[in-house]
Structure 1
Amino acid sequence: MKRFFSTFLIITLVFTASGQKELTLEQAVLGQWTEFRPKTLPGFSWLPGTDEYSFVSNDSLIIVNITDSKKNRAVTLSEVNEALKANSLQPLKRVPSAWVDSKQLRFIAGNYFVLYNSVTKSIESKFLVADNSENQEFSPDGRWMSYTIGNNLFLANALGEVITVTNDTTDGIVNGQSVHRNEFGINKGTFWSPSGRYLAYYHMDESMVTKYPLVDISKRVGELVNIRYPMAGMQSHVVTVRVYDTQNGSTVELKTGEPREQYLTNIAWTPDERSILIAVLNREQNHMCMNRYNVSTGDFELTLFEESSSKYVEPLEPPLFIDNNSFLWLSRRDGWNHIYQYLTDGKFVKQLTKGEWEVTSINATDFKNGLIYFTSTKESPLDRHLYSVSTKNGSITRLTTGSGTHRCMISPSYKYFVDFYSSITVPNRVVLNTIKGKLVKQLIDAPNPYTGYNVSLPNLITLTATDGTTLYGRMIKPVNFDSTKKYPVVIYVYGGPHSQLVTNSWMGGARLWECYMANKGYILFTLDNRGTSNRGAQFEQVIHRQLGTVELGDQLVGVNYLKSLPYVDSTRLGVHGWSFGGFMTITMMLRASDHFKVGVAGGPVTDWKFYEVMYGERYMDTPDENLDGYRKADLKNYVTNLKGKLLIIHDDMDKTVVPQHSLTLIHEFIKNGVQVDFFMYPQHDHNVMGKDRVHLIDKIIRYFDDNL
């Protein structure tokens, strides 16, 4: 009893002296973007056509006039709810913040999309949200709302009138929804013309695609849920683009031609609404044509330009028109993502940016003054800065200062921009600048949101791959780190395309639960290997036809670095990742088994022939074309190599990496007499979200606690 009391007293005195609290698991998993979100301007937006901006503060939407503070005003939640009550509409719990123009806000209230006038404080119009409807999108003039119910497309107006655009009943015919499994930057299925007269939409026939069975266990007797899932090398769906004319009710299908198994991506309307541009990509994904089609007849008019690659072409952003006759196009054709200018007749004007760095986004186009504003990695792959480029002489000007990540929003007048800035040491700093980059006012300087808590922040690390390529990583140590001790390390990995886990931003791209886990006596380490994003085509495409090989080599560079550190216990290395990261986790456990003691793989791809056509064939070609590549990446071939403890986690309703991946691998482990652990999360789809995520992270940490 005396010994217990003495220990308790020591712990109490330590806690009192430090004055620091430990995160709970719930805080670590769910609190990063709620309780511990750095102070900011929530709901920030420029009011269209003005030099006013707005943000949410408590129950008000504050509107700031930059040039005259006497014109500042607010939209209050009580005002909005009074107007809703007067129209027998359901009240809101939060003030809306989505502007349609300088006066009107659009939001959902109960079963209606509502247009609210902030000046007259009245409801201008309301659109009934039909039962079971999805994919709602408003026409630019606000007269129509498009939406889907099931696999069909509908239009509605403010009077409650409904137009049935499609009425397909055949199983496998889908209208107005995203296609090609959301690859190639596709995230929706409807595209309004600039005036709102026409609605272009995807029409997909996936009736020929094999059905993959999932089981819904929420019913008294489990029910079969079939999804259409085209696996690599198998028959894929057929997509066309149709155009509905709201004035005469006619529909025209664009004649996109043969072969039917192609990808229709990056749809854009010409400003005159006479034509539609589509980046048409062949199934092999190594040749793209930017085609123009006639809206009235559907006829093919012209191929504006073509792009090809010995590996793959991946258009991700639609053409961006800067006037009636010209547009901008983002392309990696010279090995780096840059901005090109074209005329609508296909004439090449110029390449606006050039260099061994990537344009990550186009922020605004002020063609009247000959300036394009963009964000890029020009200073460092870890940083993001805002720049302008002159369309006249190509001169580039950096507009932001301070190494780190700048997320900038430019005013409609192109006179100002607001810069949301963070770095590995700065939680969030928001400043208002002139368009030349001169400071007007600092709006926010956020303190460390973890003050009062034991949270160790990441450090950034630079390593060199075996071919001389620079690699970036981050490390999180326990708050009470002691360099004279030896620590186990858990490597958190993703490693696949379209990812960058390590950035010069607050937390370095890390999740808060990693800091929580570090305080349990671990070092957390992450490395972006070759194959990840924002480092140019060569850096990414080196993985083509051999997924897992180069990535593993780079991760082992990180492992060798860790083993060189005097405070790392090289006999206690673990690895964890999800999806592609799950694939990498098992790859590391089986193909480099001497290095790792414990692995936890979530939603892992284990055999690329089970993965879908679009992603799988881009990086691996088909199984028939790349027998050796698929064999080498098939993790079933390495099960007898396992030396450590491996936990595989999968979701039973996973529509992205179907459960067959984990189950076939486990079957192979069993056949070879190799023990492995498995856990399934019911009723989740390719990750575990919401409150159940606390259970997931707890399970992951417990597995390392018990075995590492």
Structure 2
Amino acid sequence: MELYRRFILVLISIFLITNVDAQKELTLEEAVLGQYQQFYPDHIFGFNWIENQNKYAYLKQYQTLVVGMVEGEEKEVLHISEVNEALGVRFNYFAGIKWKDEHTFVLNLRNEVLTYNIDTKKGTKIELPENAERITFDHQYNNVAYTLDNNLFYSSVTKYEHIAVTKNDDSNIVSGQEIARSEMGITQGIFWSPTGEHLAFYQKDESNVSDYPLLNILETPGTLNSIKYPMTGQPSEKAKLGIYNLKNAKTNFISTEHGEENYLTNVSWTPDEQFIILAEVARSQKHIWVQKYNAEGDLVKTLFEEKKDTWVEPEKPAHFPSKKSNDFVWVSERDGFDNLYYYSIEGELKSQLTSNAFMLKDIVAAHHGEVFFTATGENPLNTLLYKVNTKGKQVLLTKELGTHSVDVNCTGEYIFDQFSAHDIPNKAVIRKSNGKLVKLMLEAENKLADYNLAKAEVKTIKSRDGVDLYTRTIKPRDFDSTKKYPVLIYVYGGPHAQLITNSWYDGASLWMHWLANQGYIVFTLDNRGSGNRGVEFEHIIHRNLGVIEHQDQLDGVEYLSSLGYADTSRIAVHGWSYGGFMTGTMMMKSPEVFKVGVAGGLVTDWKYYEAMYGERYMDTPEENKEGYEKTSLINQAENLKGDLLLIHGTSDPVVVMQHNLSLVKKFVDLGIQIDFFPYPMHEHNVRGKDRVHLMRKVLDYVIKNNQ
């Protein structure tokens, strides 16, 4: 019996060794380029509900159109080559597909706009000007608006007509583009009315905004590309909203009522097309007025106001639960979390529809007396789907925990739901509006199953003052708790961001797993100030960016120290943008703790950052002189002891090069040696094939210096 037992143990050992040997090792190149290509779990791509039908469509390998019935079969109906042959184009895939009706869809690739009927196999093609941007269709897909340089135009989608909405020769007057540098939920500058008879658009006057030079080295000699960049405390843009009537070709303008440098955000048309509702936000961002204008641009009424000592940040427009009523739902965090408030069109608060002590993320649909919205639920790592009716009855529709991306059909009867979680690579289903499963469309496999990777561990720890903070720890696959491992802390830490989620990879990048297998503990902590935790958690950073965040990161180090296997004498830190600012803060405020830092695209002094973001969190330099001085990395540079690599894209229009170069100059003045690496002609991040070079640069630096 003993001999048999030993024989079995030998067989088990051989099996385990063979199995380990069979595991593949992930290369850094695979980790960087393969995360969203080679290893990205199978997905349903290009899903669209077909209007007024229980039909849907999606793309198979981007080139084949599949149409299906909710409770029926699917059928491959068209290959992109058939569209190309019919219309004399060369589309490689169904670019930007949207359904005009059950039979006809619209495609848009660069400046070409196609319509195609799947029954007749015929369609139309128009070519917009080659440099047309911000191509935006009306809701019926009859017309398309677009910008050329600083002006706005539109055309029919079936017969090209280059119709000018604006004709400004002054390049400082910009129409149809996003304003306020895309802060406050602003993602577009063109707003078609429900019937397409009116076209609203942002217009900004940048005459008083300073020019900022970006160097173009691709010409000989090099040239300067100037952008408009309003820094904190300096003159900013002046915003208007134009309303163009397609029938009479006349435009009326809405201007700010309470300050010429105030912001106009969250534009929405009422269902009857008689009014526009928007929010005017004070430049201080502590006061908003929700306004009702008529279609001629006249102020009808201030519906309500909100104020806060920190900031008020409206990010979502009014939504209308019924197409037959102008009564609307507004999102506000006035009670500490984003909740839904139901208003009459006259500004009367009819009811508070939700009273959730968790964060709403987005409104995905509103019709037939119901509002569908995503929210975290009780665990802030999730993204779940809820609905609430105008009586305030709320229902959770996605019982599976994870990160859900959803699309509700036009009747509100069916929901396409695609989601992942810690143990779910991807799953796509169709469910009824009560949450009941109707059809399983896809259940993806783990494409990394054959690779030698360990799963991340997600936990909560307590800050020194008792606040729950989420952490993610990635260990080597051959982890041995009796050994000591060097640490890399990956940090962002800024507003709106959340690095740790209940999703596939847990929000991590695959290069973190690669580094872990080089013998590292890779650790991330979402500190206070980061997103999806509510006002108390997020607004504590006001006027003192980097202070409480740094404290929370030190509590993370204390946690690592308690584990026994983290070598806290060898801690490196890396981050980009706000994470670069945090990297610098941690290296200079706690030089005895952090040995190596790699900071990319970093803010070094908030006086150099844009007014819209910087003033929200820091007020102006004049109003908060102490806060600006205390948080400036330039003022802390003399404290640096460890090895620091600074990286910046030379064409960065977000965190301009002045940040990094000013800090480098300070180090030179102090006689302190640091390392600096520019990425020529890259903007705020390094993308494409050069990203492999970037991550090799970052991780080689960490490994070499964190001995």
1:384 is the counterpart of 2:387: no
Q: 1:237 Cα shift?
A: 0.8
Q: Which amino acid aligns with 2:342?
A: Q
**Alpha-carbon displacement from aligned partner over 1:555-614 (angstroms, at most 9, x marks no partner):** 111011111111111110010000000000000000011111100000000100010100
1:372-451 pair list within 5 angstroms: 372-392=371-391, 394-451=392-449
Measure, in 2, the Cα distance between the counterparts of 1:169 and 1:97: 34
Say if 1:94 and 1:396 are closer, same or farther in 2 by CA, change over 3 A: closer
Q: How many Å apart are 1:95 and its aligned residue? A: 7.4
> Does the alignment pair 1:184 with 2:188?
no
Alignment correspondent of 2:10: none
The residue that corresponds to 1:9 in the other structure is none
Take 1:136 and 1:431, find their aligned partners in 2: how far apart are those partners?
A: 31
Partner of 1:18: 21
What letter corresponds to residue 664 of structure 2 in structure 1? I
Letter in 2 for 1:65: M
Q: What is the one-letter code of the residue matched to 1:355? A: N
Task: Tell me if the contact between 1:636 and 1:668 (Cα under 8 Å) persists in the aligned partners.
Answer: yes
Q: 1:131 to 1:97 in 2, by over 3 A?
A: closer
Query: Residue 364 of structure 1: CA displacement?
Result: 2.2
CA contact (8 A) 1:256 1:300 kept: no
CA shift at 1:32, angstroms?
0.9
Asked if structure 2 preserves the Cα contact closer than 8 Å seen for 1:203 and 1:242, the reply is yes
Please tell me the residue identity of whatever aligns with 1:363: V
How far residue 73 of structure 1 moved from its aligned partner, in angstroms, is 5.1
In structure 1, give the amino acid aligned to 2:553: Q
Distance in 2 (alpha carbons) for counterparts of 1:67 and 1:378: 30
User: How far apart, CA to CA, are the structure 1 residues paired with 2:517 and 2:667?
Assistant: 34
Give the whole-Å Cα distance in 2 for the aligned partners of 1:436 and 1:406. Answer: 16
Residue identity matched to 1:257: E
More displaced stretch, 634-643 vs 583-592:
634-643
Q: CA deviation at 1:525?
A: 0.6
CA 1:339 to 1:171, structure 2 compared with 1: closer, same or farther past 3 Å?
Answer: same
User: Corresponding residue for 1:4?
Assistant: none
Structure 1: how far apart are the matches of 2:110 and 2:308? 50
Distance 1:463 1:95, change over 3 A: same
CA distance in 2, matches of 1:584, 1:645: 15
Residues 236 and 15 of structure 1: is their aligned pair in 2 closer, same or farther, counting only changes over 3 Å? farther
* Distance in 2 between residues matched to 1:408 and 1:154, nearest whole Å: 33
Please tell me whether the aligned partners of residues 572 and 597 of structure 1 are also in contact (alpha carbons under 8 angstroms). yes
Conserved? CA contact 1:83–1:121, under 8 Å: yes
Identity %: 46
Alignment partner for residue 36 of structure 1, among 35, 39, 46? 39
Answering whether residue 490 of structure 2 is matched by residue 487 of structure 1, we say no
Distance 1:269 1:682 in 2: 43
Structure 1 gap segments, 5+ residues each: 1-12
Match of 2:642 among 641, 644, 652: 644
Q: What's the CA shift string for 1:114-152, capped at 9, x where partnerless?
A: 0111222211x3332212111111222333221111111
1:278 aligns with 2:278: yes
Letter of the structure 1 residue corresponding to residue 204 of structure 2: M
Once residues 414 and 91 of structure 2 are traced to their aligned partners in structure 1, the CA distance between those partners, rounded to angstroms, is 35
Which sits farther off after the overlay, 613-622 or 202-211? 202-211
Distance 1:366-1:212 versus aligned 2 partners, 3 A rule: closer
Aligned to 2:669: 671
Match of 2:7 in 1: none
Determine the structure 2 residue equivalent to 1:61: 65
Q: 1:156 to 1:416 in 2, by over 3 A?
A: closer
Do the aligned partners of 2:135 and 2:147 also contact (CA within 8 Å) in 1?
Answer: yes
Q: Tell me, in whole angstroms, the C-alpha distance in 2 between the residues paired with 1:181 and 1:109.
A: 25
Gaps of 5+ in 2: 1-15
Indicate how the Cα distance of structure 1 residues 578 and 372 shifts in structure 2: closer, same or farther if over 3 A, else same. Answer: same
Q: What corresponds to 2:101 in structure 1?
A: 101
SS of aligned partner of 2:695: helix
TM (normalized to structure 2)? 0.94
SS of the counterpart of 1:574?
strand
Q: What residue in structure 2 maps to residue 75 of structure 1?
A: 78
Partner of 1:707: 705
Alignment of 1:452-491 (within 5 A): 452-491=450-489
Aligned Cα root-mean-square deviation (Å) = 1.7
Structure 1 residue 382: Cα displacement: 1.0
Contact 2:272 2:326 in 1 (8 A): no
Mapping 1:150-549, distance limit 5 Å:
150-157=149-156, 158-296=158-296, 298-323=297-322, 324-367=325-368, 370-392=369-391, 394-549=392-547
CA contact (8 A) 1:65 1:72 kept: no
Secondary structure in 1 aligned to 2:425? Answer: coil
1:135-146 alignment to 2 at 5 Å? Answer: 135-146=134-145
- 1:106 Cα deviation (Å)? 1.3
- Select between 113-122 and 253-262 the one with higher mean Cα deviation: 253-262
Distance 1:617 1:527 in 2: 26
How far 1:313 moved relative to its partner? 0.4
Q: Report what 1:551 is aligned to.
A: 549
Alpha-carbon distance in 1 for matches of 2:97, 2:28? 32
State the AA in 2 paired with 1:342: Y
CA offsets 1:134-187 (integer angstroms, 9 cap, x no match): 111122233322111111111222322221222212231111111110001111
Q: Does 1:52 align with 2:59?
A: no
CA pair 498-17 structure 1, distance change in 2 beyond 3 A: closer
In 2, Cα distance between equivalents of 1:216 and 1:130: 25
Q: Which moved more, 1:339-348 or 1:250-259?
A: 250-259
- Deviation, structure 1 residue 80: 2.0
Matched, 1:112 2:115: no
Provide the C-alpha distance between the structure 2 equivalents of 1:260 and 1:606, rounded to a whole number of angstroms: 30
Between the aligned partners of 2:93 and 2:532, the Cα distance in structure 1 is 39
- The DSSP-based 3-state class of the residue aligned with 1:561 is helix
Structure 1 contact 231–612 (Cα < 8 Å) conserved = yes
Structure 1 consecutive aligned stretches of length 4 or more whose deviation exceeds 6 Å = 13-16
Pick one of 599, 602, 624 that aligns with 1:601: 599
Q: Is the 8 A contact 2:453 2:513 kept in 1?
A: yes
Q: Deviations over 1:509-534 (max 9, x none)?
A: 00111111111111111100000111
The alignment partner of 1:44 has SS state of: strand
| TM-aligned CA deviation for residue 439 of structure 1 | 2.3
CA distance in structure 1 between the aligned counterparts of 2:236 and 2:336, rounded to whole angstroms: 29
CA distance in 2, matches of 1:17, 1:28: 20
Alpha-carbon shift at residue 37 of structure 1 (Å): 0.9
For residues 441 and 271 of structure 1, what CA distance do their matches in structure 2 show?
Answer: 33
Q: Which range is displaced more, 400-409 or 310-319? A: 400-409
User: 1:614-666, CA deviations, whole angstroms, 9 ceiling, x for partnerless residues?
Assistant: 00000000001001100110111211211110000011111111111111111
* Conserved 8 A contact 1:105-1:115: yes
Question: Matches of 2:659 and 2:109 in 1, distance apart?
Answer: 42
- C-alpha contact (below 8 Å) 2:53/2:102 kept by paired residues: yes
Q: Distance in 2 between matches of 1:150 and 1:60?
A: 35
Report the CA distance shift for 1:255/1:631 in structure 2 as closer, same or farther (over 3 A): closer
